[in-house]
């Protein structure tokens, strides 16, 4: 069973190291000093059990790696469409693509049923690059929970979490998803198969939609953002607007908005990924996390006044910083 991870940064590197340590035939697509370090010294994972060093097949050219049984994409959402053509050598007739990408997935309306079946989202898949280039029938959904960071080239530090929730777009327990769940589980990861993966996507998106842009705009860590009345009400209103959209699309939320915000506060003095990207001068996931929800509001005829204001502000912040 051949698995390729495209985008071997923090999460991709963590996943690759866990799979390789278990003996899985895994390869990684990376670039720059990180790739050079992996080729020279192997991939090193630092976690609660100590340090693990694994030799991995890594390249900047997918053509070196050939067709895969599973292609795992761990890039930021905005980085995927320009890479679709480059991924072509990895994808064969029977390749399954696991989309480990934050935000509303480009395949959201595949196998959803109803009047919106087959709707494509311009905010996350401009010109249908992924829909047409990959084909939605190849995709499995995934909600990623681990936190990790690249502490130096070739070295990944695991911070917390080991769950990768998996789901078929149609909710079925297919052979391909059961096989992948088993591979992940045998490598020491949690990989539950969810019959309603979109529900879980929205629970995570609730926080990403609101906490990320508000923190990038205010530089408030999660513990402050979620408890200060002035920012908590903004986050709460954004979440309620998103909930109305999601419920129109058939989503069932297992918790309420206030519990979700309390969960964010419990994380503590955390700097969100969008804030970190802004500080590092890297493109922020604005379209996938916020713009996509505004687009869904338009599609479902749902007003999104708070989301619209925050989206406009974070887009301008990104433009001024040269990262959007």
> How far, in Å, CA of 144 to CA of 45, rounded?
18
Please state the domain extents for the chain: 2-195, 198-321
Q: Do domains 2-195 and 198-321 have the same CATH topology?
A: no
Backbone angles phi, psi at 22, to 5 degrees: -85, -5
67 contacts 89 by C-beta, under 8 angstroms: yes
- In the annotation, is 294 catalytic? no
Q: What is the mean pLDDT of residues 249-268?
A: 95
Q: What is the DSSP letter of 63?
A: G
pLDDT in tens, 75-123: 999 999 999 999 999 999 999 999 999 999 999 999 999 999 999 999 9
Q: What is the pLDDT of residue 49?
A: 87
Per CATH, which fold does 198-321 belong to? 1.10.1040
DSSP string, 86-134: HHGGG--TT-EEEE--SSS-TTTTTT--STTTT---TTTSGGGHHHHHT
At 285, which helix (H) or strand (E)? none
> How far, in Å, CA of 186 to CA of 24, rounded?
10
Catalytic residue among 182, 204, 252, 319: 204
pLDDT in tens, 21-57: 999 999 999 999 999 999 999 999 999 889 999 999 9
Mean residue pLDDT of the chain comes to 96
Superfamily of domain covering 2-195: NAD(P)-binding Rossmann-like Domain (3.40.50.720)
């Amino acid at each position: 069973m051949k698995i390729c991870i495209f985008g071997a940064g923090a999460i991709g590197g963590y996943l690759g190291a866990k799979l390789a340590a278990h003996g899985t035939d895994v390869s990684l697509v990376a670039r720059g000093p990180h790739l050079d370090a992996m080729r020279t010294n192997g991939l090193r994972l630092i976690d609660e059990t100590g340090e693990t060093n694994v030799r991995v097949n890594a390249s900047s050219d997918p053509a070196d790696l050939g067709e895969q049984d599973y292609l795992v994409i761990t890039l930021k959402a905005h980085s995927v469409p320009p890479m679709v053509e480059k991924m072509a050598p990895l994808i064969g007739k029977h390749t399954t693509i696991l989309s480990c990408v934050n935000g509303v997935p480009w395949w959201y309306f595949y196998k959803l049923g109803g009047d919106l079946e087959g709707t494509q989202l311009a905010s996350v898949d401009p010109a249908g690059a992924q829909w047409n280039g990959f084909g939605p029938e190849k995709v499995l959904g995934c909600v990623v929970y681990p936190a990790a960071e690249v502490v130096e080239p070739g070295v990944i530090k695991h911070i917390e979490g080991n769950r990768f929730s998996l789901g078929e777009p149609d909710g079925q327990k297919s052979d391909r998803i059961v096989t992948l769940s088993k591979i992940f589980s045998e490598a020491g990861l949690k990989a539950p198969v969810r019959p309603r993966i979109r529900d879980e996507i929205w629970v995570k998106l609730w926080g990403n939609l609101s906490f990320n842009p508000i923190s990038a705009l205010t530089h408030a860590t999660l513990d402050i953002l979620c408890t200060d009345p002035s920012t908590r009400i903004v986050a709460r209103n954004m979440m309620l607007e998103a909930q109305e959209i999601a419920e129109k699309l058939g989503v069932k939320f297992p918790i309420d908005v206030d519990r979700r915000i309390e969960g964010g506060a419990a994380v503590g003095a955390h700097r969100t990924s969008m804030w970190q990207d802004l500080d590092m001068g890297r493109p922020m996931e604005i379209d996938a996390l916020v713009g996509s929800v505004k687009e869904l509001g338009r599609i479902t005829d749902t007003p999104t006044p708070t989301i619209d204001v925050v989206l406009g502000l974070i887009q301008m912040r990104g433009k001024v910083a040269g990262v959007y």
